[in-house]
């Protein structure tokens, strides 16, 4: 090949996100130069999004097995046993870059994609969650991004008919140029009817079904593995377009095809579309695959092989059927009105071979594309840590009442009612608790049983920013605490690790330390990681997002009648604070919203204490000795008390014990703490102390005020008005 062609291919490789040394490695692995189609296939399979080349070494530190784990990382989603022959299948994934460029479609297709990851394993989706991070509310783009993302999530989930039951929404200037949209789906399946992606043998038909292939989303996986700059809006064509009605038909057709017994292996077409689905199915099964691209249902005229292989058009599946079962598949696809075609066969060559218009346009060994993709041990430096802030180093507010109103109406703390009222939270009629009801986790019944699944998503990026290791521990511990606070037995987590550019040692240090903290918490709490996603290069013009390792978690309620919430507080009940308060102010909401500071070491997480405290709380809920529980997190005791009072429409008079400064007791964010309302405080405190736990009375329920004698008194209506008012006023 002459020099001009070589230069063009090398340039193309760079445009596709491949480093010069990676292109050299391709030449070495192939023993020849690739053509453009082959280069495109390599570029998406070797992208960070598909290969985890910067993080794989460290992800291996996560515990991934446990008594309930049926399938851990490596498949489309994680699978856990929930008893009675049933399994829960769940995963979280990001759609960050597309949602910034085209908020409605970016968020909508994120929801569609995560549902496909779950039903491709045989599960019917029963719940959706989302973890959203937006920029400073004052930034000119933020309002439009919020509006588009929320509309996209609601528009897709509501149309498909799966309830959105929980999630979290934060605002910080660190996300001004790169928002985060992390979507999670939870599904139910029979434990003996789980479907996997590995092709079992050669000589089997490969069937494409779903929507037609178009030119949308080409190089989406590469875009998800690149930084943003001022020209990022030009990447709009790489954002896919979703059709929730097509997804609904696809769910039903897929589950019916599985029930027919015709499926040998199945994979959704997500990032990198037809390329990743075919490469992964053949690669995992140690077979080859041959596709005739002329047979691919196409939405547009004159599509090239390159465009078909790299398109990320939505609502598409690839199945390998058992011998002679194509007719069963065609009958089902016709019934549901889906495009479908047999587009190839599995082979015994170990290669992926693509034919287009009678020519072989790609012939690559599969091993270098998946198992043998580059694996980096990137250099990293330990993050600089900050000193702990003692309570006496942090100013008390001049006016406590005003400080509380300011805190409860701050963007991160204010009610997100405006947002979740746009989601159908009760479709399917099995939602018991959701974002609106006043519980620490969403709860969805397992239809036809007494069981329910509790679900939550958590991360405190400001903690991870100041200490990635402790922040990583805390993200896992808070998810565990949220499930515990409703009475659920925590089973397992999925994660979405959102960070900046891993080629910068200080960012790689955040990644390594956060993973190590998360892994330690997972081990201590018997809370294995069963699935997840890594989203790196979340930077704009060299400025990285705050490190955000989001944790999605699932727990089991054996009997959903034995659960707790924080909206059932009754006048006359006593408030008991379980857990020790030292007054941890580092990286706290109080520090940021009242004093305008973001410094200090985040609260340390004592995992043994976290475990002991949580196990105690859960035992009391299951025994029905405790019905009203709220875990303490952002904003400390006063935030938990205010949320409990507002949700229950009952006032609270706090009675703070002497010793620690008042502002430390009200606003400190010490971990492993729960606020419990009870009719029998003495018995609860005695029982806690017998379990070697700190417990003390901190107030009484009744009246119409939130108060602490001699410190502040606020009408509950005023608190509610401020808390509920911020978001509608902001969205205008």
The pTM (predicted TM-score) of the whole model is: 0.96
* 14 occurs within a structural domain: yes
Query: Coil, helix or strand for 117?
Result: helix
**pLDDT value of position 2:** 40
**pLDDT value of position 230:** 62
* 414 occurs within a structural domain: no
**pLDDT value of position 236:** 46
* 29 occurs within a structural domain: yes
pLDDT above 90 (res 420): yes
Distance CA 349, CA 285 (A): 12
pLDDT above 60 (res 356): yes
**pLDDT value of position 383:** 96
Contacts of 105 (CB under 8 A, 6+ apart): 98, 152, 239, 240, 241, 242
Contacts of 692 (CB under 8 A, 6+ apart): 612
**pLDDT value of position 526:** 98
- What is the DSSP code string of 67-80? TTEEE-BTBSSEEE
**pLDDT value of position 25:** 92
Distance CA 385, CA 593 (A): 22
**pLDDT value of position 103:** 97
pLDDT grade, residue 3 (50/70/90)? very low
* 20 occurs within a structural domain: yes
Contacts of 500 (CB under 8 A, 6+ apart): 507, 510, 536, 537, 538, 539, 544, 545, 547
DSSP-based helix, strand, coil % in the chain, nearest 5? 40, 25, 40
Q: Tell the burial category of 602 from Cβ atoms under 10 Å away from its Cβ (0-12, 13-18, 19+).
A: buried
pLDDT above 90 (res 75): yes
DSSP 659: S
pLDDT above 60 (res 234): no
**pLDDT value of position 9:** 83
Number of domains in the chain: 1
Selection from 295, 265, 236, 259 nearest residue 99 by Cα = 236
* 24 occurs within a structural domain: yes
pLDDT grade, residue 677 (50/70/90)? very high
Average confidence (pLDDT) over 436-455:
96
**Greatest CA separation for the chain:** 87
| Contact by Cβ (8 Å): 220, 238 | yes
* 19 occurs within a structural domain: yes
Percentage of residues of the chain with pLDDT beyond 90: 90
Distance CA 417, CA 413 (A): 12
pLDDT grade, residue 388 (50/70/90)? very high
Buried b (16+ CB within 10 A) or exposed e, 176-212: bbbbbbbbbbbbbbebeebbbbbbeebebbbbbbbbb
Average confidence (pLDDT) over 554-559:
98
Pairing of strands 124-134, 442-445: unpaired
Alpha-helical (H) ranges within 548-678 are 589-595, 607-622, 636-648, 662-667
**pLDDT value of position 4:** 42
pLDDT above 80 (res 705): yes
Buried b (16+ CB within 10 A) or exposed e, 66-97: bebbbbbbebbbbbbbbeeebbbbbbbbbbbb
| Contact by Cβ (8 Å): 439, 71 | no
**pLDDT value of position 216:** 83
pLDDT grade, residue 421 (50/70/90)? very high
Selection from 55, 57, 30 nearest residue 41 by Cα = 30
pLDDT grade, residue 233 (50/70/90)? low
**pLDDT value of position 219:** 66
pLDDT grade, residue 429 (50/70/90)? confident
Residues with active-site annotation = 49, 95
Selection from 407, 486, 516, 457 nearest residue 57 by Cα = 516
The residue count for the chain: 732
Average confidence (pLDDT) over 338-351:
97
Selection from 362, 381, 372, 232 nearest residue 290 by Cα = 362
Query: Assign residue 532 a region: left if phi > 0, alpha if psi is -120 to 50, beta otherwise?
Result: left
The position carrying tokens 């495009």 is 339
**pLDDT value of position 426:** 86
pLDDT above 70 (res 238): no
* 13 occurs within a structural domain: yes
Domain that holds residue 14: 3-34
CA distances to 307, 463, 706 from 407, in Å:
51, 18, 14
**Residues 105-162: pLDDT tens digits?**
999 999 999 999 999 999 999 999 999 999 999 999 999 999 999 999 999 999 999 9
pLDDT above 60 (res 70): yes
Distance CA 544, CA 548 (A): 11
Percentage of residues of the chain with pLDDT beyond 70: 96
| Contact by Cβ (8 Å): 68, 84 | no
* 380 occurs within a structural domain: no
Average confidence (pLDDT) over 569-592:
98
pLDDT above 50 (res 704): yes
**Residues 199-230: pLDDT tens digits?**
999 999 999 999 999 988 776 655 565 675 66
Q: What is the dihedral of CA 534, 113, 457, 89, to 10 degrees?
A: -100
DSSP 1: -
pLDDT above 50 (res 407): yes
Tokens of 254: 């897929």
**Residues 270-328: pLDDT tens digits?**
888 999 999 999 999 999 999 999 999 999 999 999 999 999 999 999 999 999 999 99
pLDDT grade, residue 413 (50/70/90)? very high
């Amino acid at each position: 090949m002459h020099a001009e062609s070589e230069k063009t291919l090398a340039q193309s490789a760079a445009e596709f996100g491949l480093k010069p040394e990676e292109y050299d490695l391709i030449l070495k692995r192939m023993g020849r130069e690739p053509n453009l189609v082959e280069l495109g296939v390599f570029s998406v399979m070797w992208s960070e999004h598909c290969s985890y080349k910067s993080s794989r070494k460290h992800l291996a530190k996560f515990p991934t097995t446990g008594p309930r784990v049926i399938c851990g990382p490596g498949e489309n989603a994680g699978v856990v046993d929930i008893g009675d022959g049933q399994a829960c299948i769940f995963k979280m994934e990001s759609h960050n870059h597309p949602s910034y460029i085209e908020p409605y479609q970016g968020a909508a297709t994120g929801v569609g994609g995560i549902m496909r990851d779950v039903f491709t394993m045989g599960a019917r989706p029963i719940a959706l969650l989302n973890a959203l991070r937006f920029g400073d509310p004052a930034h000119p783009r933020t309002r439009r991004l919020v509006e588009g993302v929320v509309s996209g999530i609601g528009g897709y989930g509501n149309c498909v008919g799966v309830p959105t039951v929980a999630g979290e929404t934060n605002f910080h200037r660190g996300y001004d140029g790169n928002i985060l949209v992390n979507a999670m789906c939870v599904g139910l399946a029979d434990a003996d009817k789980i479907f996997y992606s590995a092709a079992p043998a050669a000589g089997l038909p490969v069937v494409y079904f779903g929507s037609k292939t178009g030119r949308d989303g080409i190089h989406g996986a590469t875009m998800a593995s690149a930084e943003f700059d001022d020209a990022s809006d030009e990447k709009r064509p790489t954002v896919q377009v979703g059709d929730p009605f097509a997804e609904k038909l696809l769910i039903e057709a897929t589950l019916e095809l599985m029930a027919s017994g015709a499926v040998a292996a199945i994979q959704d077409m997500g990032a990198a579309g037809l390329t990743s689905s075919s490469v992964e199915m053949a690669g995992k099964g140690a077979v080859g695959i041959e596709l005739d691209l002329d047979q691919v249902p196409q939405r547009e005229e004159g599509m090239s092989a390159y465009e078909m292989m790299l398109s990320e058009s939505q609502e598409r599946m690839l199945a390998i059927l058992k011998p002679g079962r194509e007719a069963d598949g065609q009958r089902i696809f016709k019934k549901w009105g889906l495009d479908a075609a047999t587009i190839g066969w599995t082979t015994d060559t170990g290669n992926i071979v693509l034919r287009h218009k009678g020519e072989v346009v790609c012939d690559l060994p599969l091993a270098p594309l998946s198992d043998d993709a580059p694996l980096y041990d990137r250099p990293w430096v330990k993050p600089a840590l900050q000193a702990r802030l003692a309570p006496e180093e942090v100013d008390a507010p001049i006016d406590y009442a005003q400080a509380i109103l300011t805190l409860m109406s701050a963007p991160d703390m204010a009610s997100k009612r405006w947002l979740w009222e746009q989601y159908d939270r009760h479709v399917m009629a099995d939602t018991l608790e959701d974002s609106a009801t006043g519980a620490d986790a969403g709860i969805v019944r397992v239809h036809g049983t007494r069981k329910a699944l509790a679900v939550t998503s958590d991360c405190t990026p400001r903690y991870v920013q100041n200490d990635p290791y402790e922040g990583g521990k805390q993200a896992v511990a808070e998810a565990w605490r949220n499930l515990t606070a409703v009475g659920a037995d925590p089973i397992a987590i999925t994660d979405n690790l959102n960070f900046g550019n891993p080629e910068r040692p200080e960012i790689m240090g955040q990644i390594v330390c956060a993973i190590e903290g998360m892994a330690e918490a997972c081990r201590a709490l018997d809370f294995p990681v069963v699935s997840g996603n890594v989203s790196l290069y979340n930077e704009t013009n060299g400025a990285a997002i705050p490190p955000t390792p989001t944790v999605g978690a699932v727990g089991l309620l054996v009997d959903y009648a034995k659960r707790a919430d924080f909206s059932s507080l009754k006048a006359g009940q006593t408030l008991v604070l379980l857990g020790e308060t030292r007054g941890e102010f580092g990286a706290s909401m109080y520090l940021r919203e009242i004093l305008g500071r973001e410094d200090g070491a985040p609260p340390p997480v004592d995992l043994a204490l976290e475990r002991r405290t949580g196990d105690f709380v859960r035992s009391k809920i299951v025994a029905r000795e405790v019905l009203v529980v709220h875990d303490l997190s952002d904003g400390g005791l006063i935030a938990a008390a205010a949320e409990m009072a507002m949700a229950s429409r009952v006032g609270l008079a706090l009675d703070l014990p002497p010793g620690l400064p008042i502002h430390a007791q009200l606003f400190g964010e010490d971990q492993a703490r729960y606020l419990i309302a009870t009719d029998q405080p003495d018995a609860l405190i005695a029982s806690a102390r017998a379990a070697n736990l700190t417990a003390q009375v901190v107030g009484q329920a009744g009246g119409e005020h939130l108060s602490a004698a001699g410190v502040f008194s606020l009408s509950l209506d005023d608190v509610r008005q401020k808390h509920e008012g911020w978001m509608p006023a902001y969205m205008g």
